Structure 1
Amino acid sequence: MKALALLAASALFLMSCSKKELAIKSTPTDTATTATYTESTLDIVNPERGFFQYAEIHSSNYIPLSQSLLASYRNSTSITGATYTVSCSLVFVEYVLDSFVTTPISADFLTKFDQDCATARAAGVKLIPRFIYTNTTHSGTCAEQSVCPLYGDATKAIVLEHISQLAPHLQANEDVIAVMQLGFIGIYGENYYTDYFGDASSNGQGKLLDQNWQDRIDVLKAMLAAVPTDRMVQVRTPQFKERYVYGIQASVNSPAMTDAEAFTETDKARIGFHNDCFLSSTNDEGTYFDYGNSSTPEADATTALRNYEAYDTKYTAVGGETCTDAYTPQNECEPSGIAKTEFAEFHYSFLNAVYDLDLNNNWVSGGCMDSIKQKLGYRFVLRKAELPTSASATGNISVNLTIANIGYASPFNPRPVQLILRNQTSGKAFVAAFNTDIRKWYTGTINLQQTLTMPSGITAGNYDVLLNLPDNAATLNTNPNFSIQLANDNTWESTTGYNKLQGTLVVK
């Protein structure tokens, strides 16, 4: 009778609540409660995903990053010439080594790079660094006329020396480096117009020879060794990864990575992609192209390399920028275009917010910009939680979370997944770790059902139940700017970075 009375009272209470108050519903049982949650439509500033801001630093006139400017990027920011605003947790930094093309990097530059990383850490953002030698072009009487040699990059020996110098600084600042881009080779570091690594344009030999591939492979191998093994290095084209993994004679139909190989810290698992001409043409201005070798000519390979990248990018970091608005209507929003389909097929985590504005603005007028903002990278929506209501301090608890990743990709860097039990009287938090790899929370439904051992030292009392997805680095894992916020209403604690599951656990 008492139970029936309680249920009746609960029903009357629920009928009297507003829709907003019913955002999170709990259904108690004898030992557990089931809660459901309301999905948020906000553009959430989560780490290592979304639109990125751009910075350019020249060694010849080093202007350091500004903490106040970087911190402001986390808020809604207008962009000159754009019809949209962005809130960003990522900053792409193009470091132009224009004063070190023939000499070692100076100690002063390396110190300033460390300071930039400290600035990013304090501002609550992460960096996507790319080191290059030149980002300017000049015209002339060469075959391509608008871009002529000499291009201005450095020799292989200089590049390898610079990577060796940078290595300890990249390792020391791993926490605020979301992903590295290979850079170094050619104008913009895009590995195309280059003086020393094989000029595949009509200005040069029109393809890449075996030695060109080997030189490029040596640079990528050095960069992979310079960066901590849980960080990825992005390359400009999928064929480069194929030739690195399978050899200079590798076919454009080489197999992509498998789930078993993903996130294993092998070189194969650590090479991602940056497409700097996304949705610009059928092959994205040479992104999906066979550049040949000493015994084979260059050739179109759009279908094969798109297929390879579509599978491989499920497991790697992918980003880039648009570069032209000429590829219409394909670059437009659905149904006339394929923009959202392309983002999803190639698992994009980030994109340049400031280039190319003509195309990016079209997504506003076409009605898909808000969706793109939300879905770049991961977006975790908590659908349901089955939580215990009581437990022994020395026992176990069973937790069942149903989470939907409605984003284009999963997180590409490791991070813990933790159940937090916080004493409602003292505020002391205890941690129980889930056994899961968040990098494998792919697009779709994640069923996180586990039995967890109660944390050591926990005592009798009433505890709030929360989910914590903090950064993996000890320097950042208590900073909420680097923790993942679920895409739900009324769950986020901005002061702690915890996500409230709205459960109470009585520990006996």
Structure 2
Amino acid sequence: MAGKIKKKHRGLRFLCGLILFLIALSVIGTVFLLRRNVTATFTPVDYAESNETLANPYTGWYHTYEYEISDETSFDTSTVDYALVLDNSTRLCLVRINLKNYAAGAISDHGLADIRAILSTWAATDKQMILRFCYDTTGDNSISEPSDLTTVYRHMEQVSDIINDYAAHIYQLQGIFVGAQGETLSSPSLTDATLADLTDYYASLTDKSLYLGLHDAGQYLQAIGQTSVPPTLFTSDKTLFYRLGLFNDSLTSALSNAEAEATSAIAYFAPCGGSVAADPSLADAATAIQMLQARHISYLNAEQTESTLTSWKSQTYTSSDAYNGLTLYDYMTTHLGYRYVLRDAALSFNTWKNESGSLTLSIENVGFSVSYMPYDVCLLMRNQDTEEMITLPLDTDNRSWNPQETTTLKQSLALRDYDKGTYSLYLLVQNPSSGEVIKLGNTMPLTSNGYMIGSLVIE
């Protein structure tokens, strides 16, 4: 009898244990199902393309501001204020400093103080400087340049400390002091060897974040001592290979195939620009656009070759895209340098298969060139109820967003970890050195969080 009771108790305990196990399993299963059963709905906004001039940094038209340094005169800061009144929309300025009064020896302390005052004053504006030192602004460099290159090397040494102090406000160092109007042409001092030595020395003295510029692809290859342009490489500690861009004060549509290919290759890692020539072929819209697009031009002189610019200002750009009806000049303005357009955004998430969601962004660079400055690219998620902001840096290098190409960005979203509710999603592209928000070529309004690209509902 006792054995039967013991078996009965064991049976009851087993049954109770089984019931408790099933209850626990049910609870765990319910929790699991509740966690798995997360729905997420992304609703994009309208990504229509804008034809607005964006005035982003490091791109566009520039004006030239010339200063002749002398012990007999002093720099007047009001001249820069006056220039800004006339030109408050461009982001670049060519600051050309004439050193001809010191061609016989070292720059005096007075001269160096004036150079510092010039750079300090321009650094206080919203413009980035293209800086060119020269001994001539009229084409008479053969009589105004130092007779001995030792003086040129000495001048490079003297100004380099000032340059480095204002490196954050300087975009490109044009030229190597000698040449007609400071462009690296028509100098009795220039040979293949001296061009390479001067370029290398100037680069060694100046901050490695600064770009330099020579006249053409042939000079680029002479300076680096190579027969071909190296593959594109993005690095914060740039060697001379990747610091050297091009500036040409007489851009035309004529280039040999080899020079055109080399020019295009250089423009993928260093800025290229200059002035368009009075070339009749550039009056043709297709020819002009093709030339600037193929050479990836990021900046142009707003003052030289009035005949070409006048022609552009009088022509209407005709196409089926968003820029139809602009003048050709305004079309060029909107495409010089980089111009990012958000084309699409979509969310992928299956509650039963995926641990996380994936947001895919398609961004096209419709500009003529890449950006040569690295920007921070982030996705921001703002909870509309709590105002909590989630910041998700996107794993991308905007310098690789090539012109006339669409880049696909993907960001994982931990949807199961976020509070349920409605989120506003923003795309923010920002210059880390200045905090400036980079404008997109879309019609969405710019907010303090960037551009709202859609809403996400998590339930």
With normalisation by structure 1, the TM-score equals 0.70
Pick aligned residue for 1:349 from 278, 292, 298? 298
Residue 366 (str. 1) matches residue 366 (str. 2): no
Unaligned segments of structure 2, at least 5 residues: 1-38, 317-327, 350-354
1:448 positional shift: 1.2
- The CA distance in 2 between the partners of 1:421 and 1:227, in whole Å, is 41
Counterpart in 2 of 1:282?
Answer: 254
Residue of structure 2 in register with 1:13 after alignment: none
- Deviation, 1:118, is 4.2
Deviation by residue 1:176-198 (Cα, 9 ceiling, x = unmatched): 11222124012211122324x14
Provide the C-alpha distance between the structure 2 equivalents of 1:59 and 1:255, rounded to a whole number of angstroms.
Answer: 39
Cα shift at 1:256: 2.5
The separation in 2 between residues aligned to 1:412 and 1:262, in whole angstroms, is 11
Q: 1:59 to 1:259 in 2, by over 3 A?
A: same
Inter-partner Cα distance in structure 1 for 2:96 and 2:414:
46
Which residue is equivalent to 1:286? none
Contact 2:375 2:429 in 1 (8 A): yes
What is the RMSD computed on CA atoms of the aligned residues? 3.2
CA contact (8 A) 2:61 2:302 kept: yes
Distance 1:397 1:231, change over 3 A: farther
Distance 1:155 1:334, change over 3 A: same
Is this contact kept in 2: 1:73–1:88, CA < 8 A?
no
CA distance in 2, matches of 1:236, 1:264: 23
Contact 1:98 1:133 in 2 (8 A): yes
Structure-1 residue corresponding to 2:50? 40
Counterpart in 1 of 2:104? 102
Name 1:333's counterpart in structure 2: 284
Alignment of 1:230 onto 2:209: yes
User: How far apart, CA to CA, are the structure 2 residues paired with 1:459 and 1:171?
Assistant: 48
Asked if the contact 2:139/2:181 (under 8 Å) is kept, the reply is no
Say which of 194, 218, 221 aligns to 1:242: 221
> Equivalent residues in 2 for 1:22-421 (5 A)?
30-60=40-70, 61=73, 62-64=75-77, 68-69=81-82, 71-72=84-85, 75=88, 87-137=89-139, 149-153=142-146, 155-195=148-188, 197-198=189-190, 212-246=191-225, 254-260=227-233, 265-279=238-252, 282=254, 302-323=256-277, 325=278, 327-328=279-280, 330-335=281-286, 338-367=287-316, 368-386=328-346, 398-421=358-381
Q: Residue 437 of structure 1 aligns to which amino acid in structure 2? A: D
Specify whether residues 152 and 405 from structure 1 end up closer, same or farther in structure 2 by C-alpha distance, changes over 3 A only. same
Shift of 1:224: 1.7
CA deviation profile, 1:175-222 (whole Å, cap 9, x unmatched): 211222124012211122324x14xxxxxxxxxxxxx32222111112
The structure whose residues are more often helix, as a share, is 2
For residue 229 of structure 2, give the secondary structure of its aligned residue in structure 1. Answer: coil
Shift of 1:35: 3.9
Return the TM-score normalized by structure 2.
0.77
Aligned mate of 2:410, from 449, 470, 489: 449
Q: Which amino acid aligns with 2:264?
A: A
Secondary structure of 1:321's match?
strand
Give aligned-pair identity as a percent. 22
CA distance in 2, matches of 1:332, 1:102: 44
2: CA distance between counterparts of 1:171 and 1:52?
A: 22
Contact 1:421 1:429 in 2 (8 A): yes
Could you say if the C-alpha distance between residues 65 and 442 of structure 1 is closer, same or farther in structure 2, counting changes exceeding 3 Å? farther
Q: How far is the alpha carbon of 1:105 from its aligned partner?
A: 2.9
SS at match of 1:129: strand
Partner of 1:201: none
* Pairwise CA distance, 1:104: 2.5
C-alpha displacement at 1:400, in angstroms? 1.7
Moved more, 339-348 or 363-372: 363-372
Tell me the equivalent position of 2:455: 503
Change (3 A) 1:107 1:422: farther
Rounded to whole Å, the distance in 2 between the matches of 1:165 and 1:462 is 59
Q: Which amino acid aligns with 2:247?
A: H
CA contact (8 A) 1:182 1:223 kept: no
Secondary structure (helix, strand or coil) at the match of 1:99 reads helix
Cα separation, 2, equivalents of 1:426 and 1:170: 48
- Which deviations, in whole Å up to 9, do the C-alpha atoms of 1:337-390 show, x marking residues without a partner? x1110000100000001111111111122332221111111111111223699x
State the alpha-carbon separation in 2 of the partners of residues 68 and 169 from structure 1.
21
Closer/same/farther in 2, CA of residues 120 and 73 from structure 1, 3 Å limit: farther
The letter of the residue matching 2:222 is: R
In 2, the alpha carbon distance for the partners of 1:453 and 1:110 equals: 57
Amino acid in the other structure paired with 1:176: H
Q: In the TM superposition, what is the alpha-carbon distance from 1:31 to its structure 2 partner?
A: 4.4
In 2, the alpha carbon distance for the partners of 1:366 and 1:120 equals 34
* Secondary structure, counterpart of 1:91 in structure 2: strand
Unaligned runs of 5+ in 1: 1-28, 76-86, 139-147, 199-211, 248-253, 284-301, 390-394
The separation in 1 between residues aligned to 2:192 and 2:295, in whole angstroms, is 25
2:23 corresponds to: none
Give the direction of change, closer, same or farther, for the CA distance of 1:226–1:398 in structure 2 (3 Å limit): farther
The answer to whether the Cα contact below 8 Å between 1:275 and 1:321 also exists between their aligned partners in 2 is: yes
